[in-house]
Structure 1
Amino acid sequence: MAQEAATTQVAPAAGESLNPAPERRPVFVDRTADFGLTIGSGPVAWGDINNDGWPDLYAGGAVWINNLGMNGNTPPAFTRIAAPGNGLIADLNNDGIGDLVSISPIAIYIGHLGEDGMRFDKLALPELPETVCRGAVVGDFNNDGFLDVYFGGYENWEKQVTYPSFMLLSTQGAGFSLRIMTSEHRSRGVTACDFDEDGDLDIYVSNYRLQPNLLWVNDGSGDFSDKAEHFNVIATSEAFRGGHSIGACWGDFDNDGHFDLFAGNFAHVDSRGDQPKNRFLRSRGPTHGWTFEDLAECGVWYQESYASPACADFDNDTRLDLFFTTVYADASFGHKNYPVLYRNTSGDDAWSFADVTDGSGLEKLPPTYQAAWADVDGDGRLDLVTAGRLYMNVGTSDAQYLGVRLQGDGTTINKQAVGAQARIALPDGQILSRQVELGTGEGNANSPILHFGLGSFTGPVTVAILWPNGKTQSVVVPAVGRTIDVQYADESEDGWPE
């Protein structure tokens, strides 16, 4: 029997609702110009860079500071700060201020916040191998309390060169050491999850050129071995060793408490048969050794140029939905490719996803690798940045939600609590799980504030937390419809409550 976890009452945090709760079918409105944003076409990442409780955006050679918490709907909604590169926001030195992990070119910039505003200083790194990088993920991979970075190495097609993937391991926030991971695979997106709930982060790498995807399983000390075949997550089909994978996303799609995986495959027509298409990979949990069941497409219809997926419960009905980009501008086999919004319509016995793009405000978007979710204005409705635009979710209904912002102590647990998981058990038997992640799809990042759609359930709720060191904690939330802060507590218990 699991030990009783520490229980804490929590108070409201920054990011309280400004508007009513969301409707079940989302409606998105392009507010890019209204907010003065110029996002560009590179990777996009949400993160709270100035520690004010609101998600900021790193995109287009700039950090866009979110002023909606301070100004409401009064301009300026965002303030632009010039910033080098494109990539991820991460607090690498545990000082509470966001730093920048640039993917292209590879570099790290330490953020400083003073009376004169934000500035970013380039950090000296060890000599790095020549590489081309399309995706990276941030996490505390050796559980020392500081964040590390995994960069996926891609290719030079003309020269037929495969570039190495490598990890930068933090030296207690002062710098980084280099570890080469592999030189054999042409990697695109990289994402991480403690899928086996053992208290350490594992890494999933989407590989291109019909190469098998990798699942780097962490032994707890930061040493990894590829076990994709053992756990059945290569995401391929008969006659192929692997697919043209571009991006993947972790999420508990069936609300059983365990993290499943969606692997996105760019799939050409091939004389050997259809190349591997998109795969939903369902976690079978601890009773089956954490292996995955391949459920195939589950209603995600074929387009050749699918690219970067991002999952989120944007209609707040408790189930994770899916937005999936495409990258071909011209017709492919007679059909123009467009990004698609899929609603999770699964029942108890079968998974299914329905195309709800029509009428959503996301129809016929241009080709893009961008997809990242955040509750930008704190109204409980998840908003989407994609194709160089910010689409605000403006639907209205009485569906409930809870936002959870987890915070480590900066010593045992990294300040951003990256790698932590949270669960909410609902009275109808559903167990909703979310994780703090920095890296999804291909080079993008959703907001690290966890978002739980609760449907008609109004609370109270108990949030159970699995911290990256394997300790657990629970908090009682009397009222939903808000965002709460939860800090790591020293009295946390061992074991993940069932």
Structure 2
Amino acid sequence: MDVLAANTLSKRDSFYSFRSGWLALIITISTLLLTLIPLPALPIESPIHFTDVTDTAGIHFEHTDGATGAFHLPETLGAGGAFLDYNNDGYLDLYLVNSAAPNILYRNNGDGTFTDVTTSAGVSNQGSYGHGVACGDYNNDNYIDLYVTNFGANRLYHNNGNGTFTDVTVKSDTGDARWSSSATFFDYNIDGYLDLYVVNYLNYKLDIPYPPCFENPAFGAAEKVRGYCHPKHFEGAPDRLYRNNGDGTFTDATKAANIRDPGGMFLGKGLGVVAADFDADGNPDLYVANDDTPNYLFYNKGDGTFAEIAILTGCAYSAEGIAQAGMGVDAGDYNGDGFLDLFITNFSYETNTLYRNNGDGTFTDVSYKARLGEESYLSLGFGTGFFDADNDGNLDIFIANGHIFPTVERTTDVLSYKQPNQLFWNQGDSTFAEIQLDKQPTVSRGTLFGDYDNDGDTDLLITQLNDKATLLRNESKTPNNWLRLKLIGTRSNRDGIGTRVTLTIGAESQTREVHVGSSYLSSNDPRVLFGVGQQTVVDQLKIRWQSGIVQILENLAVNQELVITEPLSELKVR
């Protein structure tokens, strides 16, 4: 396996025109290749079931990349979206980012349908080339605001509380003009106000006539195929950390917080980010998924600064010591040990990577051990997330797949441009089994997770490159119960982002942490949803707010949503 991994690392370059020789020969000889590529297990049947309700829900969004034939790299990234309750009616609304067309805000009507309210709300991002979105109530006024990342200047939309938004980018000083991908709101200095981390990708300019790149042909053809250039040709763009001043403005705290290397700024070519407290010390850390460069783990030192420790802790490279092409990322406790683990989607001829948090400040790549390695070897993953698809109490994993090269099938006979998405069911023993889903291949990008119909399970929204978004309603037939929490901070940020919740029934516990910006270019349901199997009473909920206040609730009925407000002091309710 190690030899195979080493030999196939450069296959990605062959699609960008840089490697040939015996690698190209392997690609063309399908019989030999099939003997080398690890074979995944067959998907299993399951009561987990999702139904495409896009049309009946009134979602008529279609992404467009605006390609002109010049093969500009921004055309390959696609765009994401967000589940959010912008009008506080208790139902998740939907914001979808477009690239060469306006973004769309859909209001949830509460009956399974949505209405386009973009024009009246004023959040079209008109004139910008959009990629991602982060959601958070940055001024603690009880209304969710939007931060949209673009190729070019980003935008911060302040929610006015009356169904409209105001562009406050200039006033807030958050309009990073670089090529931004993902972003997330989090409170890194625990002052009760949400700060903002913006992931930037490449130093890429449309007005520079870059030399064209070609992909190596397959099947012995002499003609090369024009394609997109490898990101290795471009310098990475530094990320940005904006500290919330508490008055509607932000300060660029990137250097002050040590989000930089000794030579200046970290240039990691980032695409995904998640903020989570990986060492459970009460301070939110940052993990950034980088493309073809080592990933970053910024450890929050609790004094307003960070230390980059991914290499030291074992989550910068794969188990083979390879810097993979990170796309999407999420954090969650898949094995129930109380520590948040990491999952990252990567390129074809790489595996997606599951890093187990060892609880001692280190991580271990357990992708193959968890049966997630072979199954992802030929796919190219983007949007992803930990979620409990069947409410059995174990976190499952969804992956949105799709290649970036429309001509990939002319260069190899084992990869495809459109690819099926994947759902991996957590078997409760730290391993996963792929669930049989609708195998209709797509060119997917972002994935949003949220219970839009409030029926107690997690639904999915998948964005696609140059195609329609897909809303998948969770209609799994299981007897399992659930408990959902909406958290309202008082001393902590109002969204409750960064709050850690531990649910206990008997000797079993589950740990969740509120983070909404993850997956790929996307933002998720801020509420916490626990699946509890066939249990009917929750013995204890332990809520650790970012302020340090601990709140304990006991003997709770299931199949309900609890709205929990942070107390002003320690509180235990039986």
**What's the TM-score, normalizing by structure 2?**
0.73
TM superposition shift of 1:470: 2.7
Matches within 5 A, 1:181-330: 181=259, 182-209=265-292, 211-238=293-320, 240=322, 242-268=323-349, 276-285=350-359, 289-297=360-368, 298-300=370-372, 301=375, 302-328=377-403
Compare CA radii of gyration and give the structure with the larger one.
2
Superimposed CA distance per residue, residues 204-257 of structure 1 (whole angstroms, 9 cap, x where no aligned partner): 000112x110000111133111011222111424353x1111121101101122
AA of the residue aligned to 2:249: G
Superimposed CA distance per residue, residues 252-273 of structure 1 (whole angstroms, 9 cap, x where no aligned partner): 10112221111222144xxxxx
Segments of structure 1 that go 5 or more residues without pairing to the other structure are 1-22, 269-275
1:38 to 60, 83, 88: 60
TM superposition shift of 1:433: 1.2
1:43/1:173 Cα in 2 relative to 1: closer, same or farther (>3 Å)? farther
Which structure's residues are more often strand, by fraction?
A: 1
Distance (Å, rounded) in 2 between the aligned partners of 1:217 and 1:132: 25
Q: 2:443 aligned with 1:367, yes or no?
A: yes
Q: 2:519 aligned with 1:434, yes or no?
A: no
Asked if the contact 2:295/2:317 (under 8 Å) is kept, the reply is yes
TM superposition shift of 1:390: 0.6
TM superposition shift of 1:129: 5.5
Asked if the contact 2:332/2:512 (under 8 Å) is kept, the reply is yes
Asked if the contact 2:86/2:93 (under 8 Å) is kept, the reply is yes
1:416 to 489, 495, 508: 495
AA of the residue aligned to 1:172: G
Distance (Å, rounded) in 2 between the aligned partners of 1:304 and 1:383: 23
Asked if the contact 1:322/1:341 (under 8 Å) is kept, the reply is yes
Distance (Å, rounded) in 1 between the aligned partners of 2:248 and 2:114: 34
CA RMSD of aligned residues (A): 2.2
- How many residues align? The count is 444
AA of the residue aligned to 2:135: I
**What's the TM-score, normalizing by structure 1?**
0.84
Superimposed CA distance per residue, residues 49-108 of structure 1 (whole angstroms, 9 cap, x where no aligned partner): 12222222111412222221xxx35xx544533413451221111000111111114121
1:222/1:368 Cα in 2 relative to 1: closer, same or farther (>3 Å)? farther
Q: 2:423 aligned with 1:341, yes or no?
A: yes
- The corresponding residue for 1:10 is none
AA of the residue aligned to 2:371: G
Superimposed CA distance per residue, residues 308-358 of structure 1 (whole angstroms, 9 cap, x where no aligned partner): 2111001111100011111216556514432111111132xxx211111x3
SS in 1 for 2:164: strand
Asked if the contact 1:194/1:200 (under 8 Å) is kept, the reply is yes
Segments of structure 2 that go 5 or more residues without pairing to the other structure are 1-44, 64-78, 98-102, 126-131, 205-209, 211-232, 260-264, 464-468
Distance (Å, rounded) in 1 between the aligned partners of 2:538 and 2:234: 57
AA of the residue aligned to 1:385: L
- The corresponding residue for 1:475 is 553
Which structure's residues are more often helix, by fraction?
A: 2
Higher RCO by CA contacts (8 Å cutoff, separation 6 or greater) = 1
Matches within 5 A, 1:152-191: 152-156=199-203, 158=210, 160-180=234-254, 181=259, 182-191=265-274
- The corresponding residue for 2:472 is 391
Asked if the contact 1:206/1:247 (under 8 Å) is kept, the reply is yes
2:93 to 35, 56, 67: 56
- The corresponding residue for 1:6 is none
Asked if the contact 2:154/2:175 (under 8 Å) is kept, the reply is no
Asked if the contact 2:328/2:345 (under 8 Å) is kept, the reply is yes
1:53/1:123 Cα in 2 relative to 1: closer, same or farther (>3 Å)? same
Aligned-pair identity in percent equals 26
Matches within 5 A, 1:63-78: 63-68=105-110, 72-73=111-112, 76-78=113-115
1:127/1:326 Cα in 2 relative to 1: closer, same or farther (>3 Å)? closer
TM superposition shift of 1:493: 7.1
SS in 1 for 2:483: strand
- The corresponding residue for 1:272 is none
1:173/1:26 Cα in 2 relative to 1: closer, same or farther (>3 Å)? farther
